[in-house]
Each structure stands twice: as C-alpha cells, then as structure tokens.
Amino acid sequence: MLRWILGGREAQSSVEKTPVLCIGEEQPKNWFTELQVLKGHFDIVRFLLPKNCVAAAMDKEIVIYRLILSADSSVSVAEIRCLSDHRDQIRALININDNLFASGSHVGELILWDAVDLNILAYEHILWEESQSSPHAEIRMGAPKPSEMSIQHLTTNGKLILAAVGSGLYVYSVETKTVVAYRKVAHDSDVLHTMLLSDSELMSCSEDGSVRIWEIQDLPLPAEPASAGFFGMWTFGRSGKQTGPPSKKVMDVPNIRMLELTGDLIGHSGAVQMFVSFKENGLVTCSTDHLLILWKNGERQSHLRSLALFQKLEENGGL
C-alpha cells in the first residue's frame, strides 16, 4: 500500500536558509519509509491525481507520473505526460478537488488544470497596468521587480483560490473562472503563506513580520474610484497563444471586490514563514526570529472568562 511520497523544492525566498530534508538522509525516529526515489526533480511534489497519478513541478514544467502496483505488491513509477505551458519557473502547485488542480509561476501565471484529461481549463496572467481612469494613479519608475509578480503561494477551499503575488493578494473563483477580489499591496514585503478562513475572510503572513486578517468587501462607489493595481488584465487560453478574447481590465469586470484589513497580529521581529489555524482554539505562527506564538481570539477569551467567573460566583453563592 502506498504510504508516503516526499518531494523537495528549492528555497523560494531569502528567508528560507535551511535545506529541505532529503529522502536519503538518516531519520532513526521516522517510521515512514520511501517506496521509490524519483531522481531528476528538484522542485515541488504536491498531491495524488486520479488514476494513481502524481504531479511534480520541475522548473517550467509539470510532470505527471503514474504509480503502478504489480502482482507482487511492488510499486513502479512511469512518466506519462509533461505539461509545458508555463513561461517561467513554477512556484506553487495545489490540488483543488478530485478533478482540478492549479499552478502558479514566477511571472504571475495562474493555470487551472483538468486533473483527468490534463488540459488547461483557464489561464490567468497577472500584469501591471495602472488604471488610466484615476487621476491619482500610481506612477512607477522603471519596470517592477520580478518578485512583485511572482506567485509565492496558493491555497484553496475548493471554491476560491487565494494567490500570494509578490506583496499582494489575489482571489480567484474556481466556478466562474474570474477575479473575485484583490489587494495590490497587502504587506510591506513578499507574502509567504496564506489561508482562506471562509468565503469572505482570509489571512496572510509576510517577510515583513506581520500576520494580517482580511475581509472581502465591495469596492467604493463610482464617486470614489479605486486603482486597478497590477491586476490590470488577464486572458484565457494557452499561455503561448494570444488567440483568446481581448484583455480586460479588472474594473471592467462586474462584481469585483476589494480586501479590507480587519486585523493585524504584531509580535514577531522576523519573517513569518507560516501559520496554522485551530479555528476557535487559536492560531500558531512561526518566524525566523525562532519564536512560535499562540494567538487567541481576545473577544472570545474575554467572554469565556466572564462565563467562568459567573459560574464560580454561582457555585459560591454570590460575592
């Protein structure tokens, strides 16, 4: 029976200074063992696909392997497909559901794939095109840094995809294959990890040491124009072809929304690399400052303390 599949990847930011543990290293307390080592890839192995397949990202390509179980219970691995539609290094690869997976690249390409037929269902390219309708549109000096368009992290709840793009956040609907909301500058530095708390709330952390909570809200009224930011256009179809529908601006899409900051967790002095949510029980963050911090919902904790106090008073017959 297939027990464990491991894959490595290169460090994707300046804060990732320690090497990823390789399969061949001695792990005396690890009871999991590898079935077969796949040589030749140095990037991301994320998930199992239908028909006993696994996807691995290698530079600009996604390679699909098939796991074959023989009569003597041995497992062999065969390469069956190579997807070469990205134009730059793939930085993120996630499983959406049994039928879909998504990938994101260093130049801001987001591709939605059919996990069965291995065809492109949607192609989104995040570009920098400042809105010309706003007299206060930002003026950039020179071309943007490559890291500003790089998709550093992807997460999904099956209905939405949340992409960390440089220092910004970008929400994409799997069902409608359109932009739902965005925040051009969500942090002062690159976003390293994200999470969808619900269909309207999300969380992100960054190299700048901050952890922030966001809510999807409607854009201001037309009398209060907002810049489209660098999510200025996108096209659908294969990345190497420009025969699809003409490019659109984000502001031309109906029902586009924005991300409003609702919470800022301040406590780390180094880059926050990841966090884990335990829902009502709290949140744990880890950082390059060598700290693990447990966060609690202050309002909920205050309510619980009040309930405990009243219960204690009731047990003691009042004051």
Contact predicate 21/37, CB 8 Å: no
CA 295 to CA 281: how far, in whole Å?
Answer: 9
Q: What is the mean pLDDT of residues 45-70?
A: 82
Q: What is the mean pLDDT of residues 168-196?
A: 93
Q: Which residues contact 233 (CB under 8 A, 6 or more apart)?
A: 125, 127, 129, 247, 248, 249, 250
Residue 231 has pLDDT above 60, yes or no: no
**Of residues 160, 142, 161, 141, the one with CA closest to residue 151:** 161
Residue 217 has pLDDT above 70, yes or no: yes
- Residue-level pLDDT at 48: 66
Residue 214 — pLDDT band, cuts 50, 70, 90? Answer: very high
Residue 199 has pLDDT above 50, yes or no: yes
> Which of residues 169 and 309 earns the better pLDDT score?
169
Q: What is the mean pLDDT of residues 91-104?
A: 92
> Considering just the CA atoms, what is the radius of gyration of the chain in Å?
22
Q: What is the mean pLDDT of residues 146-158?
A: 85
- In degrees and rounded to multiples of 5, residue 303 shows phi and psi of -65, -45
Residue 94 has pLDDT above 70, yes or no: yes
Residue 103 — pLDDT band, cuts 50, 70, 90? Answer: very high
Token pair in block for residue 267: 């406590």
- For the chain, what percent of residues have pLDDT higher than 90? 41
CA 257 to CA 296: how far, in whole Å?
Answer: 29
- Residue-level pLDDT at 202: 95
- In degrees and rounded to multiples of 5, residue 250 shows phi and psi of -55, -40
Q: Which residues contact 84 (CB under 8 A, 6 or more apart)?
A: 60, 61
**Residues present in the chain in total:** 319
**Of residues 285, 242, 246, 249, the one with CA closest to residue 267:** 285
Strand partners, 295: 283
- Residue-level pLDDT at 252: 52
Residue 288 has pLDDT above 50, yes or no: yes
Q: Which letter does DSSP use for residue 134 in this model?
A: -
User: Cα dist. 138→68, 144, 225, 228, 233 in Å?
Assistant: 54, 13, 13, 10, 17
- Residue-level pLDDT at 52: 83
Q: What is the mean pLDDT of residues 284-306?
A: 83
- Residue-level pLDDT at 136: 37
- Residue-level pLDDT at 87: 92
For the stretch 2-22, pLDDT in tens is 334 444 444 555 544 444 444
**Of residues 50, 52, 174, 166, the one with CA closest to residue 108:** 166
Most confident of 31-40, 140-149, 227-236, 282-291: 282-291
Residue 275 has pLDDT above 50, yes or no: yes
Residue 305 has pLDDT above 70, yes or no: yes
Token pair in block for residue 17: 């200074």
CA 199 to CA 163: how far, in whole Å?
Answer: 14
Residue 244 — pLDDT band, cuts 50, 70, 90? Answer: very low
Q: Which letter does DSSP use for residue 221 in this model?
A: P
